[in-house]
Structure 1
Amino acid sequence: MEASTTRHDDKGRGLVSDAELTAAQEAQEAGTAVRALTGSLRDAHGALANLGFGIARRYAGPLVTPVEVTHDFIAHNAYGVAGRVLDHGSDLFESAASTLGTRLPASRQVARRLGATSAFVQGLGGDHIANSPMAYRMTLRRSGRDVPVTRAALEQAYPDHAKSLVFFVHGFVGTEQMWKRRAARDDDGRRLSYGRRMEAAGDWSALWVRYNTGQRVSTNGRELGNLIGKVVDAWPEPVERIVLVGHSMGGLVVHSSLLQIPPGARWGELVTDTVTLGTPYHGALLERGVTKLTKEFDRHLATRWAAEILRYRSGGVKDLRHGNLLEDDWAGHDPDDPADWRQVARAHPQHIRHLAIAGTVTGDPHSARSRLLGDLVVSRRSARGLDATKWDSLLLGGVNHMDLLNHPRVYAVLADRLGVEALPLRHPRG
């Protein structure tokens, strides 16, 4: 074992090792660097977007305005949330360094802030750091902690384990905590997600997944399948039914896992339903626009530097351009080529029912405005599934992309679809 020296901190509060001190100092530097990088990306993004929309307006006139407004809304909120999260994370890192390695407080609030910071960074460039210790692995999560996939750990995490399992797979730059967005609370003060409601209402066990959203969807899909298979083998009692629920990119990961079921894998036969919420099956308009902008900037020497910045975005982001599911959809092709290389045939297992829920920010989901704006992230058409002839789809007006994560109307649809009693709950807090 490697030797490690210890010392008292500068206020005499206890022994800390040199390794802890170094880790805290490195964490401080990393936090500051990431915050600076995010600010630079925000400024570069804003400048590039203004230039790009200016060029587009010359050709398309006022038709560009709704797209620009939508883009500005998404970018403002995304960078605003990221900035607040990174500020909290940087403060925590600096506190750790100033106390010469004192361990960070192990509260759930701190864990959530750090988790959100890491998720944001990994979404932007997660494939570049996939082999580093800081990269998320495909894991089960419950009550803010990893759950090892062993019989003993699953029994401890799920003392009331059921025979029906529902897996929840979050979207881009997210964690499992996103399912608690604006959640109502039960009598014990716990925030209620769809999974907690299902557990309270019926014979279900809810399993939340965390993963590196910057990796390719095909990679995450394969890893999700492996995880589900291990859970089925280690579950404390025989599993009778599996349902997969995915939000945004999470829906692509769900369907990628189904298209990569290994021959003879028992878990594939147990899946009865998928439910996806705002999933860009046919691509995300913003990512397509960034791809075209990158190509345009690359043509001119004066803007080639901007193209290099945009090109650095992760493979996971680029999979959102067309809704890639398999490696064949992108392998061997220019990752920044706007062309759609997806394979047409999708051999999903025939026994599985699919429901695709699409939200629209307009009250009337069938209006022309709803077709243009969608849920402000994914278009109405893109979110309605891969096969309109065999899949069920539903439009919900007045529900934006993030609302889909925890909304009474969405839960009512989910409960009805799966035969779960829809328990009345207090209105979600703002």
Structure 2
Amino acid sequence: MVFKRRINRTLQLLLSDLSDRALANASQWRAGLGEFVETGLPPVPSDLVIATMNGVMGDALEERKSRLAQRMAFSSGMQPLSLDPIRLAGQLSLPQTRIVICVHGWCMNDSQWQRKPHDHGRNLAKFGYTPVYLRYNTGRHISSNGEDFALLLEQLIATWPCPVQEIVIIAHSMGGLVSRSACFYAARHQVSWLNQLTTLVTLGTPHNGAPLAKLASWAETRIAAVPYLQSVVNLTRLRSAGSKDLSLGTICHSDWQREPPPPYPLRPPLPDGVACYAVASCLSQHTQDERSRRIGDGLVPVASALGEGDEQQLAVGFPAVNQCVVGSVNHMGLLTHPFVARKIEQWVLANSG
């Protein structure tokens, strides 16, 4: 028995030493990965590669002041938009008083709204809307992107060539969380564009969190409770801040700044006076089947995409008539499906002044 205790003690000391080494090496590994990304990629890597790297480790890239960190900016879909009034006027051939802003999802960028060859933003141009696309670093905290979005949009509206009468936001996946966060911080900062916002549409947004991100978060929590496995949890913590926020649908600074973090994120109400809509989808055509709704679009369950409440958290608050569930559509299919496009048209035009 004494011999066994000695063996256990020796094993604990060994594992503790390995854990300490892993903790020290984790930051070195993260820095090394950043160095590899900087020097190992082509001088001009593709936008899609950069978007993916930002989702995976965008917070680290930003910390390094990397050339690969996506800076938040607006684009026309063809070129970045300047916030200088004279230059912006020259970039827009026919600016409208109505703007539709498209906000992309995790590991994506502003160029990926154009698919097969549909584009929800450009589709509204025929109704007198100028499409504008937000690009942001999806590895940063969602709330950080949300607050920056709120302030950057205020600058864009101030420099727009004509008075803006109406703003519409269409957001896919993580973009819906960033947009809700932007509305929350727009109210905090008392910016003016919130008064022009008429419609907010979220497509496949994990308002209650995304299962894959939740699984990673759950594993990290469970492993952290086992001293022998600290060396493993140190590696799981290398996930980007944005991917961690996806696990619960976190949109406020306080949800990640507090120690320990709350078990469930704050649920700020949807913006007052704005018609808010949520679109979910199922891989199956049977949208009322419980199993189909749990699987959802393959990444986001229906309950999460609609922001439904349960005994542990409040519902986001989308009115039942403003919710839509589409069958036989996957997560990316929400960007192109004709029925979704018609729904967006219907909702936007119903709220247009």
2:303 aligned residue: 381
2:184 aligned residue: 259
**Residue 136 (structure 1) aligned with residue 139 (structure 2):** no
Partners in 1 of 2:83 and 2:33 — Cα distance?
Answer: 31
Pairwise CA distance, 1:311: 1.1
Residue among 307, 327, 339 paired with 1:409: 339
Pairwise CA distance, 1:152: 2.2
Q: Is the 8 A contact 2:77 2:111 kept in 1?
A: no
Partners in 2 of 1:257 and 1:379 — Cα distance?
Answer: 24
SS in 2 for 1:419: helix
Partners in 1 of 2:280 and 2:71 — Cα distance?
Answer: 29
Range with bigger deviation, 400-409 or 236-245: 400-409
Aligned pairs for 1:71-220 (under 5 A) are 90=41, 93=42, 114-131=46-63, 132-134=65-67, 135-181=69-115, 183-184=116-117, 192-199=118-125, 201-220=126-145
Q: Is the 8 A contact 1:361 1:373 kept in 2?
A: yes
Q: Is the 8 A contact 1:362 1:369 kept in 2?
A: no
Residue among 32, 36, 39 paired with 1:33: 36
Partners in 1 of 2:274 and 2:47 — Cα distance?
Answer: 33
Pairwise CA distance, 1:370: 1.4
Unaligned runs of 5+ in 2: 1-31, 308-315
Amino acid at match of 2:74: L
Pairwise CA distance, 1:388: 4.4
Relative contact order (C-alpha < 8 Å, sep 6+): which is higher? 2
C-alpha change, 1:334 and 1:173, in structure 2 (3 Å) is: farther
Partners in 1 of 2:191 and 2:276 — Cα distance?
Answer: 20
2:163 aligned residue: 238
Amino acid at match of 1:287: A
Partners in 1 of 2:292 and 2:323 — Cα distance?
Answer: 16
2:231 aligned residue: 305
Pairwise CA distance, 1:197: 1.7
Residue among 271, 281, 293 paired with 1:349: 271
**Residue 328 (structure 1) aligned with residue 254 (structure 2):** yes
Amino acid at match of 1:146: P
C-alpha change, 1:300 and 1:326, in structure 2 (3 Å) is: closer
Pairwise CA distance, 1:136: 1.4
Amino acid at match of 2:290: A
Partners in 2 of 1:347 and 1:374 — Cα distance?
Answer: 24
Q: Is the 8 A contact 1:163 1:239 kept in 2?
A: yes
C-alpha change, 1:391 and 1:129, in structure 2 (3 Å) is: farther
Pairwise CA distance, 1:330: 2.1
Pairwise CA distance, 1:144: 4.2
Partners in 2 of 1:207 and 1:136 — Cα distance?
Answer: 17
Q: Is the 8 A contact 2:213 2:247 kept in 1?
A: yes
How many residue pairs match? The answer is: 308
Partners in 1 of 2:207 and 2:57 — Cα distance?
Answer: 22
Pairwise CA distance, 1:159: 1.0
SS in 1 for 2:137: coil
**Residue 358 (structure 1) aligned with residue 280 (structure 2):** yes
Percent sequence identity over aligned pairs? 28
Q: Is the 8 A contact 1:123 1:213 kept in 2?
A: yes
SS in 2 for 1:243: strand
Question: Following TM superposition, where does structure 1 have runs of at least 4 consecutive aligned residues deviating by more than 6 angstroms?
Answer: 29-32
Q: Is the 8 A contact 1:178 1:405 kept in 2?
A: no
Note the alpha carbon deviations across 1:266-304, whole angstroms, 9 max, x for none.
Answer: 111000010000001111111111112123333446643
Amino acid at match of 2:289: S
Partners in 2 of 1:114 and 1:33 — Cα distance?
Answer: 16
Given the two structures, how large is their TM-score scaled by the length of structure 1? 0.67
Partners in 2 of 1:197 and 1:383 — Cα distance?
Answer: 23
Q: Is the 8 A contact 2:210 2:246 kept in 1?
A: yes
**CA RMSD, Structure 1 to Structure 2 (Å):** 2.5
Partners in 2 of 1:322 and 1:195 — Cα distance?
Answer: 28
Amino acid at match of 1:376: G
Pairwise CA distance, 1:203: 0.8
Residue among 324, 340, 343 paired with 2:263: 340
Pairwise CA distance, 1:148: 1.4
Pairwise CA distance, 1:419: 1.7
Unaligned runs of 5+ in 1: 1-28, 37-88, 97-103, 105-112, 185-191, 421-430
Amino acid at match of 1:236: P
1:370 aligned residue: 292
2:194 aligned residue: 268
Note the alpha carbon deviations across 1:212-271, whole angstroms, 9 max, x for none.
Answer: 011111110011111111111000000000011110100000000111114542111000
Amino acid at match of 2:166: R
Given the two structures, how large is their TM-score scaled by the length of structure 2? 0.81
Pairwise CA distance, 1:377: 0.5
C-alpha change, 1:285 and 1:312, in structure 2 (3 Å) is: same
SS in 1 for 2:132: strand
